[in-house]
Chain A
Amino acid sequence: NAGVTQTPKFQVLKTGQSMTLQCAQDMNHEYMSWYRQDPGMGLRLIHYSVGAGITDQGEVPNGYNVSRSTTEDFPLRLLSAAPSQTSVYFCASRQPGTRGRTGEQFFGPGTRLTVL
């Protein structure tokens, strides 16, 4: 299994440009999430999905869109990039958990985005 994969690894954008960060997982996990990580602030949840066709907002959703048309893929779209969106972005996936156990959350390697 490749686990959770993210592309690209690095990206530089100009203010106002749009782009899509790709995320895929091959573990057949129902739940997928996008986080951003800024220095000194830990990881903050942007959007998440509990299954194909179902998405919801996290802590910091403004400026980002998501969709989930398949179980495997969960792309994150920046509509009009701003310098405040300079960050490292992580995608994660997990199963819902069974018998009172919470499924382990697996993270991708991250995308480092710089907006000039």
Chain B
Amino acid sequence: GENVEQHPSTLSVQEGDSAVIKCTYSDSASNYFPWYKQELGKGPQLIIDIRSNVGEKKDQRIAVTLNKTAKHFSLHITETQPEDSAVYFCAPLPPGTYKYIFGTGTRLKVLA
């Protein structure tokens, strides 16, 4: 089955700096790569996703890049703001399955 690792587990950045979180997966068949943001006391929320036929996708300050050969994808947040402080999860998904395997999460702290 899919083995998913996220790094780093915690990340502190100054407001305005960039943050990068990396997700490594084992199942080369995975073709859907989402990132979720979880604020304290709430359920996770999808913030950006990418499919395997695309190398990069951007949405304002957030971007996701995919390296299928190396089996990893990364979340990039630019111009970080205090409201970006949260836990971020990756959850790559192979085709034909409904079983998301989540990474262990990255706690991002943006220091004002």
Q: Chain A interface (Cβ within 8 Å of chain B)?
A: 4, 31, 33, 35, 40-45, 48, 50, 56, 58-59, 90, 92, 100-102, 104-110
Report B-chain residues with C-beta under 8 Å of the C-beta of A58. Answer: 99
With an 8 Å Cβ cutoff, the count of chain B residues facing the other chain is 21
Of the listed residues B34, B49, B99, the one surrounded by the most CB atoms of chain A closer than 10 A to its CB is B99
A48 nearest CB neighbor, chain B only: B98
Q: How far is the CB of B37 from chain A (nearest CB, A)?
A: 11
Bound CA–CA A59/B15 (angstroms):
38
Interface string of B26-57 (1 = CB under 8 A from A): 00000010100000011111100101000000
Distance between Cα atoms of A104 and B46 in the complex (Å): 7
- Residues of B58-112 at the interface with A, using a CB-CB cut-off of 8 Å, are 89, 91, 93, 98-105
- Would you list 6 pairs from A and B whose C-beta atoms are within 8 A, ordered by A residue? A31-B98, A45-B101, A92-B43, A100-B51, A106-B46, A107-B43
Q: Which residues of B contact A35 (CB under 8 A)?
A: 102
Q: B101: which A residues are within 8 A, CB to CB?
A: 45, 59
Q: Which residue of B lies closest to A101 (CB)?
A: B51
